Amino acid sequence: MRKQKGFSLIELLIVVAIILIIAAIAIPNLLRARMAANESSAVGSIRTINTGEVTYNTSYPAVGFAPTLLSLGGAANAVCVPAAASACLIDNQLSSGTKSGYVFTAASVAGGPPTISYLATGTPVTINQTGLRSFCSYEDAVVRADPTGAVAATVAACQVLSPLN
């Protein structure tokens, strides 16, 4: 009688089934962890925008708050020289409007010149894939969250949302 070398088909199928079961358990957790990381990054980005807006308002008092998100950033692929049109206060990826699965906007919304208010928003690129909640803030610099992922189009819409702890 000869000795068998290798694995039988049944043994291989059992191993593949075990690997598929482990993957079925692990992949949803991985996706939830990625969404949580994207949300944390979005909150940090909104805080960065708040800091940039306050600094911009202080640096350019005749203008007030930055008119656009691009005004807070710098010139792409060049040495950044601070000016009202490109203040060099936030990184270029954030000032482009998309970062870590979120779309960001910031614009001055009241008065002018100088503007006396701004609205900064961050919404998931794809709800339930890149993030669940959207975030907003205005001149009080409190980050607020919308659990539905909808964008707060006005300062009044942002004011009614729950602040983050």
pLDDT band at 1 (very low <50, low <70, confident <90, very high): low
- The whole-number pLDDT of residue 6 equals 83
Mean pLDDT for all residues in the chain = 93
Whether residue 97 is predicted with pLDDT greater than 90 in this model: the reply is yes
How much is the pTM? 0.85
The whole-number pLDDT of residue 54 equals: 96
Token readout for 103 is: 């779309």
State the Cα–Cα distance between residues 140 and 118, nearest whole angstrom: 10
CA angle 159, 37, 39 (to 5 degrees): 15
- pLDDT band (50, 70, 90) for residue 127: very high
Predicted confidence (pLDDT) at residue 120 exceeds the cutoff of 90 = yes
Structural domain spans, the chain: 9-163
pLDDT in tens, 48-70: 999 999 999 999 999 999 999 99
- Where is pLDDT greater, at 112 or 33? 33
Measured CA to CA, the distance from residue 72 to residue 90 in angstroms comes to 6
pLDDT above 90 for 75: no
